[in-house]
């Protein structure tokens, strides 16, 4: 079994960027162009991701409201339509079913 140990040199990113923006040479210009492009791409990707997550949050809230409304309707139906002796058993069954559906519901 081979055991390899390497020493890595770590650089301060802030120092690299500040030096790269102060150098007046072809390499400095290329660095600034590259850094600007990468920063812009990362910012746009983050904005797109934030918009996507915001849309998912809105859909999730909508689904949660729908589920709450359905729970109220089911509870009302169970309380008003079942005979007194079966009320507790049926209500427990419906509540358990709702919990199982909530746990297995996948938001996409």
Per residue in 65-92, pLDDT tens? 888 888 888 888 777 775 555 555 666 6
Instruction: Report whether 32 contacts 20 (CB < 8 A).
Output: yes
Is the pLDDT at 104 greater than 70? The verdict is: no
As a whole number of angstroms, the distance between CA 56 and CA 46 comes to: 15
pLDDT, mean of residues 52-56: 85
Is the pLDDT at 1 greater than 60? The verdict is: yes
Is the pLDDT at 48 greater than 70? The verdict is: yes
pLDDT of residue 53: 85
**Beta-sheet strands, E only, within 22-92:** none
Chain centroid to CA 22: 39
pLDDT higher for 84 or 62?
62
Is the pLDDT at 5 greater than 70? The verdict is: yes
Is the pLDDT at 51 greater than 80? The verdict is: yes
As a whole number of angstroms, the distance between CA 55 and CA 48 comes to: 11
> Could you give the 3-state DSSP secondary structure of residue 83?
coil
pLDDT of residue 86: 54
Instruction: Please name the residue that has the structure tokens 């990113």.
Output: 13
pTM: 0.38
């Amino acid at each position: 079994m081979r055991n390899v140990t390497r020493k890595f040199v770590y650089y301060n990113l802030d120092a690299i960027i500040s030096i790269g923006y102060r150098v007046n040479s072809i390499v400095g210009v290329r660095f600034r162009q590259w850094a600007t492009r990468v920063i812009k791409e990362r910012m746009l990707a983050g904005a797109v991701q934030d918009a996507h997550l915001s849309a998912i949050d809105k859909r999730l809230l909508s689904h949660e409201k729908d589920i709450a409304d359905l729970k109220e309707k089911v509870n009302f139906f169970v309380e008003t339509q079942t005979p007194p002796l079966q009320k507790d058993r049926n209500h427990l069954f419906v509540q358990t079913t709702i919990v199982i559906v909530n746990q297995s519901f996948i938001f996409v």
